[in-house]
Structure 1
Amino acid sequence: MTDHNENCVGSSDPVPHILRQWLSSFRPWFTAPSWEHLLVLVMGAILSPGKRTVSSCLRITGRAEAGNFSLYHQLLNRARWNPRTLASRLLSVVVARLVPAGPVIIGMDDTIERRWGPKIAARGIYRDPVRSSHGHFVKASGLRWLSFMVLAPVPWAKCIKALPVLTLLCPSERYDKKRGRKHKLLTDWARQGVLQLCRWLPGRDIIFVGDSSFAVHTLAAALPHKAILITRLRLDASLFAPPDQRHEHTLGRPAQKGMPQPKLKTILHHPKTVWQRITASSWYGRETNKSLDITSSTGLWYRRGTPPKLIRWVLVRDPSGRREPQAFMSTNTDLEPAQIIAYFVRRWQIEVTFAETRAHLGIETQRQWSGNAILRTTPSLLALYSLVTVWAGDVLSQKTRPYAAAWYKKTDLTFTDAMAAVRLVLWSDDLYRHSPSNPEMHKIPPGRLQRMAQALCFAA
């Protein structure tokens, strides 16, 4: 009776025991009341279709009549818990399960959470990356988030997935100006996030992968030992040869760089450039291999005010001519060019994660306007994507069939199957708890049956 009362805070419907087990790693950082409220919100965020508001989480968990509903809102806007501490623990869980050995590949990218309203102070006007194209510019009002994701193979998915572990809010310039603070650029937040992740994973080799937005000298110069940066590189980037060796008659200060090297766009069209044909596997998430022509060398990447950085650059062209030539760089010159390309194309999964969190976890449907709640809600939903992916490894097996049909030939499991498997475990928990005497006959409690029906009827 005591255990039942502990599980039922403000409701007669207890939280499934398996959810407590899955989230037990995060228990030390919450008080007892906050922990019970957290379990309800996590369960509701998984089971709810459509919007992920606090009210929808309470309805789906049988707490629509709970008089203490404000306590669940206060967990997000007032309770004392540190999202950064939980991000550190989440990183440990993901790395321990999926990357127990070898380098940890972490992708970083920003996304716009479309939000409106005068009370959302940190929002700004940005280019919408989803609806914009090279010839069409679309603005969007919202919040800018920088997310760091572990790019690791997931056994049940049989592919690389991007699992968010740390998400930072990058306030608009107007927000900082109103508060008399110096505005931090996206690359400044990236530098702080990189250093934070390196402190959380001492002794591990970390490879950070980013798009051309993160190809900046200050970020490369701030990398600690055992950290590597792989990004795109501009075709007109300034690269230099190493400085000449000094001798006893050399005058002046030591040179930081030597003679300028030819621009990559010059090397691209030079007739004497030696190209090597390679085959890249899983090209941008596709199963088919991709033939590429590459050439590579090293050079000093330099800009006045930052120390020079020796990098390996890789120039890539498509033999079929369908794609524009691209250049990549690595701060580790010992990496093979093919390996640099293989690491970079993993970041394609970051866009997949952003799309799936919007489709299945209700990103952009939450309605908090409190600054503290905003800082916690979106990173929590992104972190839930990582947790569901890890938990699905406990309930999915090789015999699990993907959600397919005669008109939908689907051979591999996706996040849709993972979400459905975790939901089924949570929905089924009461069936076995309420029918211990006769395992062959499972009685569905009336309240549970009603909520399942409402989830279907009010899904939209």
Structure 2
Amino acid sequence: MAKIDASSSTRTMEMWLLPFAAMFTQPSWLNAVALATGALLCLNRRTVCAALRAVDGGSDRGFSRFHRFLSRAEWSGLQGAKILLGLLQEAFVPEGEPLVIAVDDSVERRRGVRIRDKGIWRDAVRSSRGFFVKVAGLRWLSLQVMARPGFARRTWGLPFLTVLSRSEQTDARRTRRHQTLPEKATWAMRLVARWCPGRRLVMVGDGAYASLNVFWTLRDHAVCVARCRMDARFFNPPPPRKRGQKGRPRLVGTRQLTPRTRALRKATKWERMIIPGWRTKDGKAEREVDVVTGTALWSAHGKTMPVRWVLTRDPAGRAETRVFVCSDPGQSALQILTWYAMRWAVEPTFQEARRHLGFETQRQWSDRAIQRTTPLLLGLFSLVMLWAADLAARTGQLAMLGAAWYRKPDPTFVDCLAAVRRVLWTEEAVSPILWRDDYPTWRMRARTAENPRPLQQRLAELVSYAA
């Protein structure tokens, strides 16, 4: 366990990362602080060498210890995910409100013979319904807390747990038991339920997680909401058993109309609702939606559970008709659609992580380093949001990058990252983190014979090699 002396010489990054100090030994803790600082300050690629250059570590002969921090050091990513989830709850989820967790997957494009867990996946960004694009890489399952920071007016997706999902061919080649994406999501949500006893959980996912097995397994742990198929098979409750009737009691009654048939019927009575955050591509905070809802029994593979389905239709005809299913029949249609609308914040999170945190640019080859680096980058996204929210609470606002031709209504992730970088660069200008007296070093020459490079020189080098 790392022993941190919270003295006047303690860096801001150490204070921010202090909740995670118990995960590391003292040497690993110093390496973690330096790597986190360098990962936030460097540009373009998020490799270990790029992070060291950002903190003036180009002449450090002991650079291999930073690589070993990812590939060999003994620390638990699950313990870090638990700590991060607790920080997100404390900062953004008030007591008594449900913890809404969005579950989604993303493909990290990686190539190389030595990356053994890579597979061939469908590229959801480049593919369409009539055009299929395959990509080689790693598939990650990400669990994100849906929250609204105090400085924002929209919902943000804040990752806290990211696990690798291997293909069936990869598991067969490495003689491992294969787990599908819904099975991994079920395992992850049960883990979160153990981490948050007494907290009401809501899992929101797309059509890949509209599985009766998922809903059945999590029925005592979380409320599940997912987009369902338009030909889903729902049933009415069984009729009351007649007196003297023989045989086993019926589990389900007559089959209900499929959502597709119900949407086409003229006799269907639609109710217009205003859903906050529903398809706000034009900048609106809410939108009108025609809704039909009802309860049913979802039965398949010997399992039967009551659910509520919600059928939606766009009054303007710009969006397709969709149906959603919820494992809690007592929830209203407005609440179910509000929860699902929060899930759309997952995609901007993946996009911002690729654009500003170098997601897909890391170059580790060992299995352990690969399984640690991507979750660390996505977790760094949530940490930046936590630190930016704290800075905004202290100063009253966050500085936003604007121009005469464009005025931002709310801060974006790049504004949050810039606020954190200002604090880190201010300290780096006074004393680079790798040049501290209490930091172990293996430089080419003694400290007395070297001096840190001027900040202007370091910034010019970073900008010159940014592209």
Give the structure-1-normalised TM-score: 0.92
Q: Which amino acid aligns with 1:424?
A: R
Q: Deviations over 1:142-194 (max 9, x none)?
A: 00000000001111222210000111100122211112223211111111111
2: CA distance, partners of 1:270 / 1:284: 25
Match in the other structure for 1:437: none
| TM-aligned CA deviation for residue 233 of structure 1 | 1.3
2: CA distance, partners of 1:400 / 1:201: 31
Root mean square deviation of aligned Cα:
2.1
Alignment equivalent of 2:391, drawn from 377, 383, 395: 395
Q: Is 1:133 aligned to 2:138, yes or no? A: no
| TM-aligned CA deviation for residue 445 of structure 1 | 6.9
Match in the other structure for 1:287: 284
The 5 Å alignment of 1:44-83 reads 44-83=38-77
Q: Is the 8 A contact 1:88 1:200 kept in 2?
A: yes
Match in the other structure for 1:220: 215
2: CA distance, partners of 1:431 / 1:61: 10
In terms of mean alpha carbon deviation, does 158-167 or 379-388 score higher? 158-167
1: CA distance, partners of 2:412 / 2:215: 35
Match in the other structure for 1:172: 167
| SS at 1:183 equivalent | coil
Match in the other structure for 2:300: 303
Q: Is the 8 A contact 2:219 2:327 kept in 1?
A: no
Match in the other structure for 1:317: 313
Match in the other structure for 1:96: 90
Match in the other structure for 2:405: 407
The 5 Å alignment of 1:350-429 reads 350-396=346-392, 397-429=395-427
Q: Is the 8 A contact 1:298 1:312 kept in 2?
A: yes
Match in the other structure for 1:457: 464
Q: Is the 8 A contact 1:237 1:263 kept in 2?
A: yes
| TM-aligned CA deviation for residue 431 of structure 1 | 4.9
Q: Is the 8 A contact 1:198 1:224 kept in 2?
A: no
Q: Is 1:342 aligned to 2:342, yes or no? A: no
Q: 1:105 to 1:89 in 2, by over 3 A?
A: same
Give the structure-2-normalised TM-score: 0.91
| TM-aligned CA deviation for residue 406 of structure 1 | 1.4
Q: Deviations over 1:223-278 (max 9, x none)?
A: 14251000111111000011223355232223221111111111111121111011
In terms of mean alpha carbon deviation, does 245-254 or 209-218 score higher? 245-254
Q: Is the 8 A contact 1:41 1:58 kept in 2?
A: yes
Match in the other structure for 2:438: none
1: CA distance, partners of 2:454 / 2:81: 35
1: CA distance, partners of 2:245 / 2:43: 72
Q: 1:15 to 1:269 in 2, by over 3 A?
A: farther
Q: Is the 8 A contact 2:99 2:199 kept in 1?
A: yes
Identity %: 39
Q: Which amino acid aligns with 2:56?
A: G
Q: Is the 8 A contact 1:54 1:73 kept in 2?
A: yes
In terms of mean alpha carbon deviation, does 240-249 or 156-165 score higher? 240-249
Match in the other structure for 2:439: none
Q: Deviations over 1:367-425 (max 9, x none)?
A: 00100000000000000000000100122344434101112222211101000000000
Q: Is the 8 A contact 1:106 1:151 kept in 2?
A: yes
Q: Deviations over 1:266-319 (max 9, x none)?
A: 1111121111011122223442431111110000011023x2111110111111
Q: Which amino acid aligns with 1:429?
A: E
2: CA distance, partners of 1:200 / 1:99: 15
In terms of mean alpha carbon deviation, does 411-420 or 182-191 score higher? 182-191
Alignment equivalent of 1:234, drawn from 221, 225, 229: 229
1: CA distance, partners of 2:430 / 2:48: 28
| TM-aligned CA deviation for residue 16 of structure 1 | 6.3
| SS at 1:154 equivalent | coil
| TM-aligned CA deviation for residue 336 of structure 1 | 1.1
Q: Is the 8 A contact 2:93 2:147 kept in 1?
A: yes
Q: Which amino acid aligns with 1:287?
A: K
Q: Is the 8 A contact 1:16 1:430 kept in 2?
A: no
1: CA distance, partners of 2:340 / 2:138: 26
Aligned residues: 441
Q: Is 1:448 aligned to 2:465, yes or no? A: no
